Amino acid sequence: MGNTQTPTTFSGLVDHLLSLIDMIIPALFAVVFLFLIWKIFDAWVIHADDTKKIEEGKQIALTAVIVFVIMLIIWGVVALIRRSIFGN
């Protein structure tokens, strides 16, 4: 089977959870980024002649950029708190 290690202490559990979070956060960033790229491509390349789609694409792109910036800010604050409390 796999080499899975079950945490036996609270510190080990916290380290395990933080390592899981460290894998999930970049995946969320990738999903938001791919969604942003797809909507830009959909609005300005595939439906370049449809003004309604272009306006919809602008709105979705603006929302995705705002969400991306908010995610970066939250990730930075969490990293700052994590370093100050857990020291790693």
3-state secondary structure 30-60: HHHHHHHHHHHHHHHHHCCCCHHHHHHHHHH
- Pull the structure tokens for residue 71: 């995610």
For residue range 22-48, what is the model confidence (pLDDT) as tens digits?
888 889 889 888 988 888 888 888 888
Q: Quick one: pLDDT at residue 10?
A: 83
pLDDT of res. 9: 86
Average pLDDT, the chain: 83
The total of structural domains in the chain comes to 1
Domain hosting 39: range is 31-86
Provide the pLDDT for residue 8: 82
What is the C-alpha separation between 85 and 69, in angstroms, rounded?
24
Cα torsion through 64, 66, 72, 74, rounded to 10: -120
pTM confidence score: 0.67
**Would 81 be classed as within a structural domain?**
yes
18 found inside a domain:
no
Q: What is the pLDDT of residue 2?
A: 43
Residue 65 lies in a domain: yes
Instruction: Using alpha carbons, select from 51, 48, 31 the residue that is nearest to residue 40.
Output: 48
